Amino acid sequence: MKTILGWLGHQFLGLLQELGRIMVLLLQALSWLVRPPFRIRLYFKQMEFIGVNSLFVVVLTSLFTGMVLALQTFYAFSMFGAETLVGATVALSMTRELGPVITGLMVTGRAGSAICAEIGTMRVTEQVDALTVMAINPVQYLVLPRIVAGFIMLPLLTIVSDAMGILGGYLVGVQLLDIHGGMFMNKIQEHVTLADVYNGLIKASVFGGILTLVGCYKGFYTRGGAEGVGRSTTQAVVMSSVLILVSDYFLTALMF
């Protein structure tokens, strides 16, 4: 009993310590936001990498999520003749919840892992030290542009994701299951407010911050060669995904 409690306490302290160090890294990075030199090109490069290059995977996953949502809700709603509400249900689910979360998780898998592996490799091959020795702050050079890019690009990707999810719902609901197209769209307009969309985008920004920050943090403190890079990349993906889902609950509870 004692050992189990001890183990739990130990794990919890470790988690708190890690979150603290992540926050320190975030504050360090933000303190460089207002100090020169400003390397605009690096920001655009990261926005391309995290945002533009994730477009395809986000489009694909969101489209199919919308489609399966329509299929499932149609089955349930048809039991009491509310098939016309399928569109509104898909649209609300996408904008409030699934758009930001799917985007966050997909970008974590695609870009969060790559960020961690790249910075981790730079760490173990002394490239991070080389930056420092050249009087270039590695937090400013490597971490800050990625966090900013995640913060900006995730809401943009989420807009695409929302639209694709609704399109998927429309394709299945209207084209396949013969819901009346006008009614489908009408119910969406009736039930979805702009606040639903905005709040979803705020979530997306937070997720973008989380996944880039955790990727940078795990990469930045990598030790132990190639094996260490593999280990921190796995940890970065798991930790980002967990933090995204946990923070999603609290953000939802706060905003809606």
Partner 1 sequence: MQQDQDIIHIESLYKSFGDFRVLDGLDLALEKDRVNIIIGRSGGGKSVLIKHIIGLLKPDSGRILVRGEDIVPLNERQMARVRKDFGMLFQEAALFDSLNVHENVAFPLHEHTSKSYSEIDEVVQSKLAAVGLQGMDRKMPAELSGGMRKRVGLARALALEPKIVLFDEPTSGLDPVMAATINDLIQRTRHEFGATCIVISHDIDATMKIADNIFMLYQGRIIARGSPREIRENSDPVVRQFIRGEAHGPIQVN
Contacts to partner 1 by CB under 8 A: 37, 121-122, 125-127, 129-130, 132-137
User: Residue 129 or 190: which CB sits closer to partner 1?
Assistant: 129
Nearest to 219 by CA among 113, 85, 126: 113
Per-residue HEC secondary structure of 223-249 comes to: CCHHHHHHHHHHHHHHHHHHHHHHHHH
Least separation in angstroms between CB 137 and partner 1: 7
Q: C-beta of 42: minimal distance to partner 1 in Å?
A: 12
Give 123 or 218: the residue with its C-beta nearer to partner 1. Answer: 123
Which SS3 state, helix, strand or coil, does residue 192 take?
A: coil
Total residue length of the chain:
256
CB of 44 to partner 1, least distance (A): 15
- Could you tell me the smallest distance in angstroms from the CB atom of residue 121 to partner 1? 8
What is the closest distance, in whole angstroms, from the C-beta atom of residue 225 to partner 1 in the complex?
11
Of the candidates 208, 169, 196, 200, the one whose C-alpha atom is nearest the C-alpha of residue 185 is 169
| DSSP class per residue in 194-209 | HHHHHHHHHHHHHHHH
Could you count the other beta carbons within 10 Å of the beta carbon of residue 190?
A: 11
Distance from C-alpha of 113 to C-alpha of 56, rounded to nearest angstrom: 17
For partner 1, which is the closer residue by CB, 119 or 239?
Answer: 119
Nearer to partner 1, 96 or 110 (CB): 110
Cβ contact 94:198 at 8 Å: no
CB of 127 or CB of 247, closer to partner 1: 127
Phi/psi for 224 (5° steps) reads 90, 40
CB closer to partner 1, 90 vs 122? 122
Closest separation in Å from C-beta 239 to partner 1: 25
